[in-house]
Amino acid sequence: MVEAEKIVIRPIISEKSYAQIDLHRYTFEVHPKAHKTAIAQAVEQLFNVKVLGVATSHVRPKPKRRGWTAGRNSSWKKAVVQLSPSDKIEFFEGR
């Protein structure tokens, strides 16, 4: 199995992700080829919590401009992880 640090890239900090913390859901950017089982195992290993479910989605690239130059930003994969009601991740709780 691939290391957990390579599967979970970074947490997503936004208004929507903070609103879901009350429902015990945490949002992460994950490796584009990671599947739900690997994501759940990586989060359990990194944060020592019990994962109940994982929802994934691919975030499409958006067009960007900088003067005359037009381009796109990269696509990436997002995972919303549902934790057990008794567990929480302290990293997100620093509101």
Whether residue 11 is contained in a domain is answered as yes
Residue 90 lies in a domain: no
Whether 1 shows a pLDDT value over 70: the answer reads: no
- Structure tokens belonging to residue 30: 């994950």
Enclosing domain of residue 59: 4-63+73-84
User: What would the mean pLDDT of 68-91 be, rounded to a whole number?
Assistant: 93
CATH classification at residue 38: 3.30.70.330
What is the count of structural domains for the chain? 1
- Judge whether residue 94 has pLDDT over 90: no
For residue 95, what pLDDT is reported?
Answer: 53
Residue at 78 is within a domain: yes
> How sure is the predictor about 90, in pLDDT bands with cuts at 50, 70 and 90?
confident
What is the number of other CB atoms lying within 10 angstroms of the CB of residue 39? Answer: 24
